[in-house]
Amino acid sequence: MQIVSVTDLEKGFDGLGVLKGISFTLNKGEVLSVIGPSGSGKSTLLRCLTQLETVDKGTIEVCGDTMVSTDDKGEVRYAPKNILHAVRLHFGLVFQNFNLFPHMSVLRNITEAQMHVLKMTKAEAEKSARELLVKMGLEDKEKAYPCHLSGGQQQRVSIARALALNPKVLCFDEPTSALDPELTGEILKVIKTLAKEKMTMIVVTHEMSFARDISDRVIFMDDGLIVEEGKPEELFNHPKNERTKKFLQRYE
């Protein structure tokens, strides 16, 4: 079942094209990795999906709702506010640099949105947050503040925070890039577990062996376009496009 469908997505900053016509679909339970050189538009793509940026052109459909569409005349139309809010909650986003709330305890970081957005009671929220913390291996950290955690622990809290809203799709924007190399493993393990549980995910990453390992499908982006797309075995072992080949050579 298709849950995200993106068609001819374009986005520029000050007249400079960053996404130049992106189309792809995502099925329920699928893990899609997005790889590509820095500056190719990977973050911008995630930011358009999560409404942190508005698109210049194209259509995005999520779980049967049209978040944004473009008519024949090129006029971009976003859905009404209530639908945009619902669509926003379909996506979870894990940032490269965590963006935890520093003044809130670990537990509060997770329960804040559950209580304010999902209107859960404090008791319900804390129960579900504690379950997530166990899952992230952080059950003893609920009272800690983000500044007292390692980068890897902070990133796991931010994954728990995103999961707390039960998103349909979890997006990761280079979740290990801000971490010391010895800490990347713990995050990759968590994402792998989520993949096994059939969480639908879009993972922007520079960890090629990881992408090969967990993905159902891989997209290679360069200069605002999807240059190549395929199963990980195909794309990594037998890249068809010259640019893909050149890019992958750097990681050998």
Ligand X SMILES: Nc1ncnc2c1ncn2[C@@H]1O[C@H](COP(=O)(O)OP(=O)(O)O)[C@@H](O)[C@H]1O
Which does residue 95 touch among other proteins, ligand X, Mg ion, none (CB within 5 to 8 A, set by kind)?
A: other proteins
SS3 98: coil
Is 89 or 183 the residue whose CB approaches other proteins more closely?
Answer: 89
**What CA–CA distance (Å, rounded) separates 228 from 234?**
10
**What CA–CA distance (Å, rounded) separates 9 from 21?**
5
The answer to whether 40 contacts ligand X (rule: CB under 6 A) is yes
Binding residue for ligand X (CB under 6 A) from 26, 30, 32, 43? Answer: 43
| Segment near other proteins (CB under 8 A); pick from 33-41, 56-64, 68-76, 84-92 | 84-92
| Segment near ligand X (CB under 6 A); pick from 39-47, 74-82, 84-92, 154-162 | 39-47
The answer to whether 43 contacts Mg ion (rule: CB under 5 A) is yes
242: Cα within 13 Å, side-chain hemisphere: 0
Helices 122-135 + 151-163 axis angle, to 10: 130
Which does residue 134 touch among Mg ion, ligand X, other proteins, none (CB within 5 to 8 A, set by kind)?
A: none
The answer to whether 145 contacts other proteins (rule: CB under 8 A) is yes
Binding residue for ligand X (CB under 6 A) from 18, 110, 195, 214? Answer: 18
- Residues 44, 47, 53, 55: is their CA dihedral positive or negative? positive
The answer to whether 11 contacts ligand X (rule: CB under 6 A) is no
The answer to whether 51 contacts other proteins (rule: CB under 8 A) is yes
Is 76 or 84 the residue whose CB approaches other proteins more closely?
Answer: 84
In order of 14, 139, 188, 232, the CA distances from 213 in angstroms are 38, 28, 10, 8
CB of 37 to ligand X, least distance (A): 7
**Reduced to 3 DSSP states, what percent helix, strand and coil does the chain have, rounded to the nearest 5?**
40, 30, 35
- By CB under 6 A, the count of residues binding ligand X is 10
Backbone angles phi, psi at 50, to 5 degrees: -90, 10
**What CA–CA distance (Å, rounded) separates 233 from 238?**
7
Q: Which residues bind Mg ion (CB under 5 A)?
A: 43
Q: Which residues bind other proteins (CB under 8 A)?
A: 50-52, 85, 88-89, 91-93, 95, 97, 99-103, 112-113, 116-117, 145-147, 161, 165
